[in-house]
Amino acid sequence: MAILRYGVLKAKAVSFEREDNDPTPHFQLQLEAGGDSFRVPVNVRSSLSPSQLVYLIDENFRHPITIMLAGLSEGFTRLPESDRAGLDYIRSNLFDLEAVVSLPSSLPGQDDDLQDILVSRTQTAIDAADDAFVFAFGEPFPGNADPAANIEGIHDIHMNQGNHPRFQEDDGVFHDGGLIYHFPSQDRFIAVFLAFQSQALHTDDQTGHALAGSRTFQNVIEGTDPDPGQPGERDGALRIVGALANPEGPEGQPGHTGRPESVTLLNTTPDAITLDGWAIIDRAQHRQALDGRAIEAGGAELVALDAGPVQLGNSGGTITLLDENGLQIDGVSYTRADARSGFTIVF
C-alpha cells in the first residue's frame, strides 16, 4: 500500500527549526499558503543503519515537471498515481542516482551536515519573500477524508519506494517526496532529493517494492556492487549521451532536413553489448525495441526513431533505456529550451 493522498503543497517559506538533539531528528519547515500555516517535517536521520541519509541538490533544476509546478495555485494539490505527475526518483529521470552523497544530520561546524544544507536553501527562500515558493511533495497529515481541508502539514519528504521490508507498506511509484524551491523572477528552481541508504535503485513498476537483490544507495555510497546477475549489476553500462528531439523544419514540409528524431547510446564497458530484448521508452511510455543491434566496446550507436512509436516532444520529455529484463540501465530528461531545432541535446 502506497502512502495515502499523495500530492504537492505550494507555499511560502516562513521559518524553520533544527532538531539537533533528537534521536530521530527532523528539519521542521514552516510554510504559509492562502493564510493557512503548514508544517513540513523533513527526515534528516534514519532509524536504520546506516543512519545518514543520501541527498542530491540541483541548484538549477531543469525538468519538464517544472512547467506543471509553475502553473499550480498556492495550497495542496492531489497528484494521483495514474496521472504520473508526481516525483519518481527512478522513472522520472530527475537526477543521476549515482551522484548522491551522504551527510550526518547534525555536526558542530558550518555547512557540514544535512540540516545546514536545508537551512541555507530555506533561508534564501525566506529572504526572497514574495519571489519564492516552496513545493513540498509527500503525504498530507493528519489523515482526512477531504485532503483539501484541515491539513496540518506534509511529511514523507523523501523517496517512497524500494523500502526496507519494515517500511514496505509505504512503497509506491510516482509517490516520492522532495523539496523544490522556485524563484520566479530568476526562472530558477532548486531541487532537494532525499533517500535512505537502505532503499533500492530498482523497484517493481506496479508496487514500488524493491526487486530482490537490487543495488541500494548504500552500495552507491560505499562503492560496492550487487551480486552478479542481480538488479543493478549493469547500471550505466550503456549511457544515453545525445538525442535529436526537434529536427529542422516541419516533418513532410519544405525545409525539413529528413533527419529523424534519434537517440545516441554509448557503450562504457570493455565488452560488446548485444541489445536483443532492450528498448528505449519515452515520457508517454511508448517503446521502441532495439533487437538486432550490438554496440562494440567503447562504441556509440545512433538509434533513429522514425520507424517506431517513440516520440521526443519538442516541449520536453524523458528518455529511458531498459535491458532485456525490463531494468532501467540509464535515463535522462530534457526541457523545451534544450530541444532547439536541428540541434542534438548532449547529456
Alpha helices, DSSP H, located in the chain: 65-70, 114-128, 217-222
Residues 292 and 175 in one domain: no
- Is 218 found in the same domain as 260? no
Highest mean pLDDT: which range of 1-5, 302-306, 334-338: 334-338
**H-helix or E-strand spanning residue 32:** strand 26-33
pTM for this structure? 0.92
Of 119-128, 140-149, 153-162, 164-173, the least confident: 140-149
Q: Are residues 150 and 194 in the same domain?
A: yes
For residues 25 and 17, what is the distance between their CA atoms, to the nearest angstrom?
A: 11
Is 43 a member of any domain?
yes
The answer to the question of residue 233 being in a domain is: no
Q: What is the mean pLDDT of residues 318-322?
A: 98
User: Which of 222, 256, 288 is at the close of a domain?
Assistant: 222
Cα angle 39, 41, 44; round to 5: 160
Q: What is the pLDDT of residue 4?
A: 83
CB 101 within 8 A of CB 220: no
Same domain for 214 and 242, yes or no, is: no
Domain termination site, one of 194, 222, 250: 222
Work out the average pLDDT over 118-127: 97
340 located within any domain: yes
pLDDT value at 227 more than 90 = no
Residues 6+ apart with CB under 8 A from 341: 246, 247, 248, 249
Torsion of CA 244, 324, 329, 169, to 10 degrees: 120
pLDDT of residue 256: 53
Whether 24 maps to a domain, the answer reads yes
Q: Which residue, 222, 256, 289, sits at the end of a domain?
A: 222
Beta bridge partners of 240: 265
Nearest Cα neighbor of 126 from 36, 15, 45, 214 is 15
For position 322, which CATH number holds?
Answer: 2.60.40.1260
Examine residue 80 and state whether it is found in any structural domain, yes or no: yes
Range of the domain at 279: 238-346
Do residues 108 and 218 both lie within one domain? yes
Confidence of residue 169 (pLDDT cuts 50, 70, 90): very high
Judge whether 228 lies within some domain: no
Say yes or no to pLDDT of 253 above 80: no
Query: Is the pLDDT reported for residue 46 higher than 80?
Result: yes
Task: State how many domains the chain has.
Answer: 2
Reply yes or no on whether the pLDDT at 128 is more than 80.
yes
Residue 161 has pLDDT above 60, yes or no: yes
Mean pLDDT calculated for residue range 179-183: 98
> Do 39 and 102 share a structural domain?
yes
Which of these ranges, 109-113, 126-130, 197-201, 338-342, has the smallest mean pLDDT? Answer: 109-113
Say if residue 246 is in the same domain as residue 217. Answer: no
> Residue 46: inside a domain, yes or no?
yes
340 and 302 within one domain: yes
Q: Higher pLDDT residue, 256 or 74?
A: 74
1 within domain boundaries: no
Question: Are both 165 and 249 inside the same structural domain?
Answer: no
Average pLDDT over all residues of the chain: 93
146 pLDDT exceeds 80?
Answer: no
Asked if pLDDT for residue 150 goes beyond 80, the answer is no
pLDDT at res. 249: 67
Question: Residues 115, 159: one domain?
Answer: yes
> Same structural domain for residues 217 and 310?
no
Q: How confident is the model at residue 111 (pLDDT cuts 50, 70, 90)?
A: confident
Note whether 151 and 176 are same-domain residues. yes
